[in-house]
């Protein structure tokens, strides 16, 4: 067999294997997403997630929101317990729905509120709702902030973390417009800062010069590594110590 023919066959074989691996990865990811969608339909507010967890001590700092809150590497603060009450893939509407059960009834001393990216990730599939995605996200977070303030609970509101462009098998439906929508939404979230509400600016801590999450601070296009949380905790602890 001529060398050129062998090279051609090798190239076709490699291409086939790459296509097959990509198809399998996409199939796995789509199956995972579909399974998670059914779990959400069965437990829309994620009330089952923490039902077997120990009761938080009164006066704890609660990290509340979506998977980014759920995965938060909790800081060590002398004399203050920290607990997570984040649920993966939740939108701000879902988080708002479980604010009473997972936060208010435990009478926390402070709430670190992190949520919003799962609202904005709908952009590629619902481009006609771009403005509404932002407005609903801000409105729901504003309702949570006001509810906490009415209960005299201090709030640290996180701006929405910057994102990275995913690999196709990580998230088949994606648009780089999501990053722009995150920035626009954060502009509105900053306006929620007032007495009893501090804003934790995440972009200056996490983003590289291109506005995306620094590779060394991320585990994927959405989530932080322990090093990323350590960086945020440095800023957070300073906020918690301020009057």
> Would you state the pLDDT for residue 36?
58
CA distances from 212 to 90, 105, 134, 174, 182 (A): 22, 37, 19, 15, 11
pLDDT tens-digit series, residues 129-147:
999 999 999 999 999 999 9
Rounded to the nearest integer, the mean pLDDT of the chain is: 89
**Residue 145 burial (10 A CB sphere; 0-12, 13-18, 19+):** buried
Q: What angle do CA 33, 37, 39 make, to 5 degrees?
A: 115
> Would you state the pLDDT for residue 35?
64
> Would you state the pLDDT for residue 111?
98
More confident residue, 3 or 174: 174
pLDDT tens-digit series, residues 76-111:
998 899 999 999 999 999 999 999 999 999 999 999
Beta bridge partners of 111: 62, 155
pLDDT tens-digit series, residues 165-203:
999 888 989 999 999 999 999 999 999 999 999 999 999
Res 15 pLDDT > 80: no
For residues 239 and 200, the answer to whether their CB atoms sit within 8 Å is: yes
Model confidence at 17, pLDDT cuts 50, 70, 90, reads low
More confident residue, 15 or 120: 120
What pTM did the predictor assign?
A: 0.85
Res 164 pLDDT > 60: yes
pLDDT tens-digit series, residues 60-79:
999 999 999 999 999 999 88
> Would you state the pLDDT for residue 45?
81
Instruction: Give the number of other Cβ atoms within 10 Å of residue 199's Cβ.
Output: 18
DSSP characters over 160-220: PPP--PPPTTT-SS--THHHHHHHHHHHHHGGG-BTTEEEE--HHHHB-TTSSBPGGGBSS
């Amino acid at each position: 067999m001529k060398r050129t023919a062998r090279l051609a066959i090798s190239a076709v074989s490699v291409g086939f294997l790459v296509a097959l691996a990509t198809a399998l990865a996409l199939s796995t990811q789509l199956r995972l997403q579909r399974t998670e969608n059914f779990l959400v339909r069965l437990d829309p507010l994620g009330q089952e997630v923490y039902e077997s967890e120990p009761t938080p001590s009164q006066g704890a700092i609660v990290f509340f929101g979506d998977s980014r809150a759920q995965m938060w590497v909790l800081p060590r603060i002398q004399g203050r317990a920290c607990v997570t009450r984040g649920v993966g893939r939740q939108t701000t509407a879902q988080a708002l729905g479980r604010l009473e059960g997972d936060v208010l009834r435990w009478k926390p001393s402070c709430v670190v509120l992190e949520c919003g990216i799962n609202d904005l990730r709908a952009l590629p599939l619902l481009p006609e709702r771009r403005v509404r995605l932002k407005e609903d996200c801000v409105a729901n977070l504003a309702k949570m902030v006001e509810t906490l303030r009415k209960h005299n609970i201090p709030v640290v509101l996180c701006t929405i973390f910057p994102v990275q462009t995913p690999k196709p098998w990580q998230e088949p439906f994606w648009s780089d417009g999501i990053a722009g929508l995150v920035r626009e939404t954060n502009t509105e979230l900053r306006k929620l800062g007032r007495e009893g509400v501090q804003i934790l600016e995440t972009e200056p801590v996490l983003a590289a010069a291109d506005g995306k999450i620094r590779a060394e601070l991320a585990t994927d296009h959405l989530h932080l590594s322990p090093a990323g949380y350590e960086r945020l905790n440095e800023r957070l602890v300073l906020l918690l110590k301020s009057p």
